[in-house]
Amino acid sequence: MVNYGQIVVGAGGAGKTSYCTAVQHLLELQERERVVVVNLDPANENYEYECALDVRDLVCAREVQDNFQLGPNGSLVFCMEYLVKNMDWLEEGLRALQKDDRGDMYVVFDCPGQIELFATHGGFRKVLTHLEKTLDFRFVCVHCVDVHLCTDAGNYLAAILLSLNLMLNLELPHVNVLTKCDMIAQFGDMAMPLDYYLEAQNLSHFVLGLDVAGGGGPGGEGRRRTKVHPKFTRLTEGLCDLVEDYALVNFVPVAIEDAKSMQHLLRTLDRCLGYVQKQDKASQKGGEDLQSFIASLDAALHDTGDGTNQNWQEHFINFKALTTEKKREEPKNPIN
Ligand SMILES: Nc1nc2c(ncn2[C@@H]2O[C@H](COP(=O)(O)OP(=O)(O)OP(=O)(O)O)[C@@H](O)[C@H]2O)c(=O)[nH]1
Ligand SMILES: [Mg+2]
């Protein structure tokens, strides 16, 4: 039996917890085999998903902070090291979940936003290796990046470098996700079309043509050429070349309320995990409705080709307009 796991990481506030809620919702709608969400963030006190296993039952960041007089970051490092020492707790918890149901498990792991825990700290990789060995897990890393970072060339390059760092440290199949793409309509005219940011190619011209030292605001206003030291320019050029030469980084756009973008991402993750959905559940009661639901999502992906050559920017702008329209239509004080 193989178990499948999404390791959802990303900087603080990138949208990891919201993504976990959305993915649980969509996968349950699709009646996918035994989807569970596990909270691995010892500081996570607000989540809307149904949590099957919570690391805070083992170690809680708030208590660590109070008991050991540590700051918020130090307490998270402590919690991670505590988890590494007690990885049997996680293994047993997952094993217990497995016993409830005989099928394969599909687990979404909601991780802390302190990205150093994954980018430089080696402990988490040990936990993953342990689960791979004992519970036959196949993992994929879902790296969430707030789309807002695209409004600043320097931040965008930093996100790409962080992605490479995570690939090196976690050694997992890796998918970068641009989150909150419904917000791009609010950024006005971005310096480049969304597709450019998704592909992460031909970077030098963009990054060096703009203010790499920061200051570029949404919509491009405030962007300016600043005089930077030639050494800094060469370093930036070198980093851009590195990213382009290896072509390891690209992004998948997502807005959690947009089923089409979520389905597109899930298809990508399925390919990385080697996941094939069993048909038996779907063919039971309600199977036809379910199949047509999935088919309609897939059809939406395929309406302009293979689902990857779409104009996502336009799609998200239309999506935003549609949801705003819908909200306006809803009565402010509904009378029951
Ligand atoms: N518009 C929009 N907002 C989103 C989306 N995804 C997340 N958000 C918002 O982004 C904010 C942060 O989301 P979280 O899910 O808490 O982010 P996180 O990465 O788990 O944050 P930490 O756990 O604190 O690191 C929340 O206000 C969410 O409502 C999205 O697709 N669209
Ligand atoms: Mg979170």
Atom of ligand 1 nearest to the CA of 41: 23
**Ligand 1 contacts CB of residue 17 (under 6 A):** yes
pLDDT digits (tens, 9 = 90+) for 7-37: 999 999 999 999 999 999 999 888 887 899 9
Please state the atom number of ligand 1 nearest to the C-alpha of residue 110: 20
What is the Å distance from ligand 2's center to 40 Cα? 9
Tell the residue nearest (CA) to atom 1 of ligand 1. 180
Burial class (CB in 10 A: 0-12, 13-18, 19+), 142: buried
Q: What is the secondary structure of 115-153 as a DSSP string?
A: THHHHT-SHHHHHHHHHHHHH-EEEEEEEEEEGGGGGSH
Q: Which ligand is nearest to the CA of 114?
A: 1
**Distance between CA 128 and CA 136 in Å, rounded?**
10
Which ligand sits closest to the CA of 9? 1
Ligand 1 pocket: which of 18, 111, 251, 264 to mutate (most atoms <8 Å of CB)? 18
Domain positions in the chain: 3-202+249-280+287-322
* CA of residue 48 to ligand 2 center, whole Å: 10
d(CA 76, CA 66): 12
Nearest CA to ligand 1 atom 14: 15
Atom of ligand 1 lying closest to residue 10 CA: 19
Q: How many CB atoms lie within 10 A of CB 169?
A: 18
14 lines ligand 1 (CB under 6 A): yes
pLDDT tens, residue by residue, 271-283 = 999 988 765 455 5
The per-residue pLDDT string of the chain (336 residues; one tens digit each, 9 = 90 and over) reads 789 999 999 999 999 999 999 999 999 888 887 899 999 999 999 999 999 999 999 999 999 999 999 999 999 999 999 999 999 999 999 999 987 666 689 999 999 999 999 988 889 999 999 999 999 999 999 999 999 999 989 899 999 999 999 999 999 999 999 999 999 988 877 888 999 999 999 898 777 775 444 444 434 444 555 677 888 888 989 999 999 998 999 999 999 999 999 999 999 999 999 988 765 455 555 566 777 777 777 777 765 555 556 789 999 999 988 888 777 776 655 444
Verify whether ligand 1 is closer than 6 Å to residue 183 (CB atom).
yes
Q: What is the pLDDT of residues 171-215, one digit of tens each?
A: 999 999 999 999 998 887 788 899 999 999 989 877 777 544 444
For the Cβ of 16 lying below 6 angstroms from any atom of ligand 1, the answer is: yes
**Could you tell me the distance, in angstroms and rounded to a whole number, from the CA of residue 21 to the centre of ligand 2?**
10
Give me ligand 1 centre to Cα 15, in Å: 3
Q: What is the pLDDT of residue 279?
A: 58
Q: How many angstroms separate the CA atoms of 190 and 194, rounded?
A: 8
With contact defined as beta carbons under 8 Å apart, do 178 and 251 qualify?
Answer: yes
Q: Find out whether the beta carbon of 15 lies less than 6 Å from any atom of ligand 1.
A: yes
- CA nearest ligand 1 atom 8, residue: 15
Q: Is the CB of 184 under 6 A from ligand 1?
A: no
Distance 81 CA to ligand 1 centre (A): 26
Q: Exposure string (b/e) for 143-163, b if CB count within 10 Å is 16 or more?
A: bbbbbbbbbbbbbbbbbbebb
Neighbours of 111 (CB within 10 A): 26
Residues in the chain: 336
Question: Which atom of ligand 1 approaches the CA of 18 most closely?
Answer: 15
CATH of 3-202+249-280+287-322, one of 1.10.150.120, 3.20.20.80, 3.40.50.300, 3.40.50.2300: 3.40.50.300
For the CA of 10, the nearest ligand: 1
Q: How far apart (Å, rounded) are the C-alpha atoms in residues 145 and 157?
A: 12
Q: Where are the alpha helices (DSSP H) in the chain?
A: 16-29, 61-68, 72-85, 87-100, 116-119, 123-135, 153-170, 194-199, 203-209, 230-246, 259-273, 280-283, 287-302, 312-329
Q: Using a 6 Å cutoff on CB, does residue 10 contact ligand 1?
A: yes
